[in-house]
Structure 1
Amino acid sequence: MLWLSWRQFRTQALVGVVALAPLAALLLFTGLDIRQAYDRYRSRCAVADRCLDAMSQFQDDYRTRLLLLALLLAVLPAVLGVFWGAPLIARELETGTQRLVWNQSVTRRRWLAVKLLVVGLGSVLVAALASLLLTWAASPYDEVSGERFGALAFGARNLTPVAYAALAFVLGAVAGLLVRRTVPAMALTVLAFTLLQLLMPNLVRPHLVAPVTVTRPMTAGAFRELRGVGADATVKGLSVPDAWVTGTSKLLTAGGRPVDARTVDTCLTRPPRGAGDTADCLGALNLHVTVAYQPDSRYWSFQWIESAGCLALAGLLAGFGLWRIQRQVC
């Protein structure tokens, strides 16, 4: 059964290797380029007042490229699920070739389990290699930027791409088992995995571990560090050093009540004479916000928890597939 599964999969495996080779070369080139640039910019830090500008320029030079690579790696599990997972069972059921195996000594569950194991292992290895190379290539940038919890960066580094690849593959295989047609199974896999990729960083990941909550006074200097203040008393771009901010309250008064939006709007549009600029006007109101954040020290905890959750979900889907195939009508 292992030999048969490999014979059926070897063409796809060869295509995967050929497709992965340019990506691996690009990641190797990018990693070497980033390291050379990092050493070059780092040399400017011999002059203290130039170091901050040098590191900022270093991030600007590589931010877009690394975001595109992270996006590519975020798409990779979906590609594996669509082209390796979805056709795995659906193609057999469409053509009826599964009957030849089922009418011999191989049980349905063994047939499915071996297929999931062989092709699933290939999917995991592809994602692991791509993740390893991108994590290595981006490590100097990540050290400087401190953006390890970014939605794209987090899902494209270390363990999570491997777990997502396993989940996407099993999702595609089970979709093919249920739908019994390759193209609809591929479409269903894309839809389900895209939905998962949207929900995880926005609704699930921030709550995997209870956040740290602090109260931050909003002085004039604090207002100047923001990207902006909304007329509805919301703040934009509030940051905490070495942390991922997951939630920020509206501006609150000293008594803990939401500030009157008209008061904020007055400072934004018509600051009282003698009150200085908008930041001085808002700072004089003695306001504060409640900030929820995840320290960077929890990064690996989030990696392990999210990866374990994806693998557990993949295991449940595989178990469902093994149960369902026993009741599958030929």
Structure 2
Amino acid sequence: MSTFINPSTDGRNGTANRTMNATMNATKNGPRHGAGNTSTTKATRRPRLSGMTWLVWRQHRAAFWTILAATVLCVAWMIYQRAQMMDFLNAYGFPAKNLDDAGKQFDPYVGAFSSVTTGLTAIPVILGVLLGAPLLASDLESGTAKLIAAQSVSRNRWLATKLALAGLVVTVTTVTLSAVFAWWWNPIKLQYADIDWTTREFFNTTGPAPVALSLLSVFGGVAIGVILRRTLAAMVVTLGFTVALQAVWGYFKLSLGDIVTATSKPISPGGRITFPEVPRTAHVLDTSYVSGSGKLFDLTTCTDTLSEEATTSCMKKADIVGASIDYIPISQMSSMQWFGASILFALTAGIVAFLFIWGRKRLV
């Protein structure tokens, strides 16, 4: 039976290699027990990692445990902040009282949102650079990949185990953080107009968006590491890749929604213009004047006149009879996130397919 050798100690510490071999054999074969201890073994046996899964977890356990521990701390902090916010809202009389009138009383809780969302939006970048880029690049650089290729386990199984464990840790982390943050924000989500849900601090940290962004960042970093085969270079390039990904995502995310147009009731030309009402938390894209023929005019139209009479005459001449507002309601947020996430998941699947195709001949 072939055995695995810990690449970090190969050629440096023979004792460590023999210990790793013995541990792997014991993990594969299981402990030996006498016939009289069979029932006791069955009663006390617990599920544990073995074989390639154990090896990959042990190799990256520092990174995995750090990610999970940071997630637990962040979740605890958000739970505490939500409890503080709910105490304030109950004492304030929300939702019977409009939260927009709270003014500076609510500023500390908005500040708490800002401090947490700043960290949450950086998670895809951090995971891509610190987990994705070194995941295979370090093995290729140190020669571990050649050592694994010499074992009885196929390269595809080794690669699949690496990607699966990394993907599982990333998914569990981002799903948990996304769910807890959404739970924190949900009580005021539809009522507090001073928070723009389309910003990256809120759109990218709830629903499937953080999961999709993080997985694409991590597996993109893995692909970069496989191509460059140098850990430090892969981390630097991955940093640029993840920042560019965030920028492109931010540029196109509003196009994922359907624009709704609200138009005021037409009046006679030159009359007093009233603007249509839109939902409190809607993201307004554009506001325009509307002529009788349906032509749109910018709000700066007729603002260069010196008197009210001249302004009225100017608007009458332009045949302006109303106003329109283009906006995206917050009710579309979830569908926009899932639509965008499906695109990111598809790109991630393409990168994973590339890694397996490339790994058949070049992953050594």
Matches within 5 A, 1:1-330: 1-42=52-93, 45=96, 51=98, 53-54=100-101, 60-145=107-192, 147-203=196-252, 205-216=253-264, 220-222=273-275, 240-241=278-279, 244-245=282-283, 247-248=285-286, 251-257=289-295, 259=297, 263-267=301-305, 270=306, 272=307, 274=309, 286=320, 288=322, 291-328=325-362, 330=364
Separation in structure 1 between the aligned mates of residue 181 and residue 233 of structure 2, nearest angstrom:
32
Alignment-mate amino acid for residue 238 of structure 2? T
Q: Does structure 1 retain, via aligned residues, the 8 Å contact 2:134–2:234?
A: yes
Amino acid across the alignment from 1:301: S
Return the letter of the residue paired with 1:197. Q
CA contact (8 A) 2:63 2:131 kept: yes
Q: How far apart, CA to CA, are the structure 2 residues paired with 1:273 and 1:107?
A: 81
- The TM-score, its normalising length taken from structure 2, stands at 0.73
Secondary structure of 1:293 counterpart: strand
Alignment match, 1:232: none
The answer to whether the 8 A contact 1:206-1:246 is kept is: no
Higher helix share: 1
Q: What is the rounded CA distance, in whole Å, between the counterparts of 1:88 and 1:131 in structure 2?
A: 24
User: How far apart, CA to CA, are the structure 2 residues paired with 1:239 and 1:79?
Assistant: 42
Deviation at 1:141, TM superposition (A): 2.7
- How far off is 1:287 after superposition? 5.6
1:135 shift after superposition: 1.4
Deviation for aligned residue 1:121: 0.6
The TM-score normalised by the length of structure 1 is: 0.80
Is the alpha carbon distance of 1:329 and 1:220 closer, same or farther for their aligned partners in structure 2, counting shifts above 3 Å?
A: same
Cα deviation digits, residues 113-161 of structure 1 (max 9, x gap):
1100011111111112222221122222323225433332111112211
Q: What one-letter code is carried by the residue in structure 1 that aligns with 2:259?
A: P
Percent of pairs with identical residues:
26
**Residues 1:105 and 1:143: Cα distance change in structure 2 (over 3 Å):** same
- The Cα RMSD (Å) is 3.1
What SS does the aligned partner of 2:197 have? coil
| 3-state secondary structure, aligned to 1:145 | coil
Moved more, 285-294 or 17-26: 285-294
**Bigger-Rg structure (1/2):** 2
Contact 2:198 2:283 in 1 (8 A): no
Aligned length, in residue pairs: 304
- Alignment deviations for residues 250-290 of structure 1 (CA, whole Å, 9 cap, x no partner): 545433446599853414xx3x1556xx8x89877626555
Please tell me the residue identity of whatever aligns with 2:278. Answer: V
CA 179–56 in structure 1, closer or farther in 2 if over 3 Å, else same: same
2:24 counterpart residue number: none
Instruction: Tell me the CA shift for residue 79 of structure 1.
Output: 0.8
Structure 1 unaligned residues grouped into runs of 5+: 223-237
SS at match of 1:148: coil
Q: Which residue is equivalent to 1:227? A: none
**1:307 Cα shift?**
1.9
Instruction: Judge conservation of contact 1:120–1:166 (CA < 8 Å) in 2.
Output: yes
Match of 1:117, as an amino acid? A
Match of 2:60, SS state, is: helix
Q: Is the partner of 2:206 in helix, strand or coil?
A: coil
Question: In structure 1, how many angstroms separate the alpha carbons of the residues matched to 2:204 and 2:190?
Answer: 17
SS across alignment from 1:144: coil
